[in-house]
Amino acid sequence: MPKTSLNDLPNLIGKELGVSDWLLIDQNRINRFADCTEDHQFIHVDEERALKETPFGGTIAHGFLSLSLLSKLSYEIAIELENVKMGINYGFEKIRFVQPVPSGSKIRARFFLNNAIERKPNQWMLNYEITIEIQGQNKPAVIAEWLTIQIL
C-alpha cells in the first residue's frame, strides 16, 4: 500500500488514487468461493445449465466474490498512513452489483478517496468510492463506498 503522511492526506481527498492491476475471475476461483460460502446456485457453478437457462451466456461470479476481492485489489492503491499500527475494515455505506462478472473475465478496482476523518486521536476513518470494472465492458460490476479505519 502506498504510504501517506497525515499532512498529505487532505490533498488526496476528492481525488482518484489509482487503478489496480487486472485479476482473472476463472471458474476455479468461482467454485472455491461457492464452496467457502456454501452458495452453489447453478448460475455460478453449473456451466452447462447456466449456458442454457440464463441470459449470461455461462456462469457468473458471485457478487460477494467480486466485493471480497477488494481486500486484494486495495493493496496496490489504497492509502496506508505513516506509522499505522493496524487497519480495520469498517464496512460499507453503499454497495451496488451493477453487472454480472462472467467466468473467465478480468476485473480491476478504481479507487477515489471521498473523505478522511479523525474519529478519535490517532484513529482515522477513510471513505473510498470504488468501482470494480470488467475488462472490455462499459458498465462496471460493482460500485461501492468502503469505510476503513487506520489506527496509528
Domains in the chain: ranges and CATH? 3-151 (3.10.129.10)
Bridge-based pairing state of the strands 15-19 and 80-81? unpaired
Which contiguous run of DSSP H or E holds residue 5?
Answer: none
Rounded to the nearest 10°, the torsion over CA 95, 35, 134, 91 is 20
State what percent of residues in the chain have pLDDT above 90.
93
pLDDT at 90: 96
Predicted local distance difference test score (pLDDT) of residue 1: 66
Tell me the pLDDT band of 57, cut-offs 50, 70 and 90.
Answer: very high
For residue range 87-136, what is the model confidence (pLDDT) as tens digits? 999 999 999 999 999 999 999 999 999 999 999 999 999 999 999 999 99
**Cell digits of residue 19:** 487503478
